A and B are shown apart, each in its own frame.
Chain A
């Protein structure tokens, strides 16, 4: 409920803020129309996730308008845009986290390889095991570090023996670059770690169930620059095994970690292109205005 409300508020803000700014300072931006179709290259051959005409509503309030996008295998795609543009909402539709919000409705075609995410036969538990999520605020469970990482494997019965589970915990913590820091205190509470360590613990927890896609919702927004650098390094390493979709407010971060970048504006997907192209030769005026810092 809270989440729904805060998202609602963000949408309300989004409806207001850029428009007022345009009116007051930049009359030129006000007249820039939304493109008929997303410009750039939203579609790929043989994508990991195929999303067509996705609409998301909170009650009567439409947060996402006809978004079509492919997410490729083993790529990092960054979703950027001003606050309240719907990037987080869109991301949360990709593993049906929006189901937890009563008033939220999603329609359109959302496919993970050949499976329809919103098909009535789709098992949400299995979906979320295949499409994991890392949240904006580090949210380790108030359990030990070991139990935090072992949570997912235990849930899905991935380890039959204690030995297997130990190995899974170690592998995940190593992949998340946290093993050396915590190997001597695996049974200390996860909430006792620093913010950056907590976020890496959450990443370890997510990859412990071997997902195919990892969704990251502003994973560094609560972290200091050093912790952020570590997470970014980690993202680069994780690309070898996973597909990653990351929402970020930092354009530098998007430029550093992603292969492709999608620019959202007021619930619409304006432009998708190679990250280099988006940041050097944006095709659409709105994208250009955003990346040059004229609003955001």
Chain B
């Protein structure tokens, strides 16, 4: 039986268990004089039976699927004659792939040794048995669980507490999955970075000003020494992010002020979602907009002024990235400005302040911590942004402060280091992990700072 069908069957059993549990609890309640004499509502008894049906079945299914592949391989390999036993884990993997290909018909039976063909037959046979056994085990677990849960129903049973406890466990499990994934990502990046720092010293990485990650394939190759100074990359990232913030903060803040303070309700209901569409444009679209429209335009403009502009300039990438993060600033700023109590504005207006004086002197200072939080979130978004800079910022790791030059960023270098076929033990590829770690730490620090500021803001009034 296919796993999908099996799951469907278990689901039907669960529904049945629920129904039977409901029936039984209602039937038990009737001689007592109604469901008010039960310890819990019939729903909880039914839910408890359903959970008793589902959980054992799913546990059996999960364990089985984790273990059965290894077991079958063990049996197939063990069944091979002595001379064909693989000598190394690598050879073992190849052999199993070969047998599997024969079994699935991808490899003609005639092209392999007859012992392997026999092993393939055995594999097919074992798989059949395995599937049947799995179905029987899972369904048995479901039915026994349900039967036990059903039999235990009694008017005094504290079904409500038990169901609540199980549900709490279920929610916790889901939260745990998300957290563990994050921890796993961080750890993998961390370990690979440590491997990188065995090859290149952290001092060179953090403070070196030369970035040229090409390492030699042969010892006698020209320019064989890789250089891993990350300073040009971080400076490039900072320059582009700074340009982006220079665009996004004034525009975002002022549009937020317009939306929150001046716009009529119907304008606001139309303009706010329209502005937020900017956040929904895929970054790759911004990327080619930057590379194909903005960069040539800036170059042409620069040339007409007699300036020397690279065709992939930091300015072009920064400007487009700035447009992309406008909604982050404006949306958050709009929220915090709207959250400033009306009585503050009334107080200021009542003293004879004009509307713009009120906004400048009372509303913005009161909302400032929240606005700062929005700006920092936008900044961490800008630092981590990849697609726009890959397409528009260039690859040359120049150490420059001129926004008209081509620069490269941390994210761009990670992309170039890891695209294509790579060996995963050279300093070149491992450098990507070290860069990723640095980037992660930077954005994490910014996010923590932003959250801290936002929390502090919440305590501002009453």
Name the residue of chain A whose CB is nearest to the CB of B369: A142
* Residue from the list A2, A3, A142, A205 in contact with B351, Cβ < 8 A: A205
Chain A positions within 8 Å of B, measured between CB atoms, are: 1-3, 95, 97, 100, 102, 124-129, 132-133, 135, 137, 139-143, 151-152, 155-156, 191, 202, 205-206, 209
A156 lies within 8 A of B346 (CB)? no
Q: List 8 A-B contacts (CB under 8 A).
A: A3-B342, A97-B346, A133-B346, A135-B347, A141-B348, A151-B353, A156-B352, A205-B347
Residues of A within 8 A of B352 (CB): 124-129, 152, 155-156, 209
A155 lies within 8 A of B353 (CB)? yes
Cα–Cα, bound, A129→B353 (Å): 9
Closest 7 CB pairs of A and B: A139-B343, A133-B350, A128-B352, A129-B352, A152-B351, A139-B347, A125-B352
Q: How far, in Å, is A50 (CB) from chain B's closest CB?
A: 22
| Interface residue B366 (Cβ < 8 Å from any Cβ of A) | yes
Could you give, for residues 143-170 of chain B, a 1 whenever the CB lies within 8 Å of some chain A CB and a 0 otherwise? 0000000000000000000000000000
Q: How far, in Å, is A286 (CB) from chain B's closest CB?
A: 31
| Interface residue B357 (Cβ < 8 Å from any Cβ of A) | yes
Cα–Cα, bound, A192→B139 (Å): 66
A128 lies within 8 A of B351 (CB)? yes
* Residue from the list A135, A155, A191, A209 in contact with B461, Cβ < 8 A: A191
Cα–Cα, bound, A152→B346 (Å): 13
Name the residue of chain B whose CB is nearest to the CB of A3: B342
B357 lies within 8 A of A135 (CB)? no
Residues of A within 8 A of B346 (CB): 3, 97, 100, 133, 135, 139
Residues of A within 8 A of B362 (CB): 141
Chain B positions within 8 Å of A, measured between CB atoms, are: 264-265, 341-354, 357, 361-362, 365-366, 460-461
Cα–Cα, bound, A126→B351 (Å): 9
Q: Contacts A1-B265, A126-B352, A143-B365 given; 17 further ones with Cβ under 8 A? A: A97-B346, A97-B349, A97-B350, A128-B349, A132-B350, A133-B346, A133-B350, A135-B346, A135-B350, A137-B343, A141-B348, A141-B365, A151-B361, A202-B347, A205-B347, A209-B351, A209-B352
Residues of A within 8 A of B354 (CB): 125
Cα–Cα, bound, A111→B224 (Å): 89
A206 lies within 8 A of B350 (CB)? yes
A95 lies within 8 A of B353 (CB)? no
Name the residue of chain B whose CB is nearest to the CB of A153: B351
Q: How far, in Å, is B370 (CB) from chain A's closest CB?
A: 12
- Contacts A129-B351, A155-B351, A206-B350; A100 near B343 (Cβ below 8 A): no
A206 lies within 8 A of B343 (CB)? no
* Residue from the list B342, B353, B366 in contact with A125, Cβ < 8 A: B353
* Residue from the list B265, B341, B357, B460 in contact with A155, Cβ < 8 A: B357
Name the residue of chain A whose CB is nearest to the CB of B367: A142
Cα–Cα, bound, A38→B184 (Å): 79
Residues of B within 8 A of A1 (CB): 265
- Contacts A142-B460, A142-B461, A151-B361; A95 near B350 (Cβ below 8 A): yes
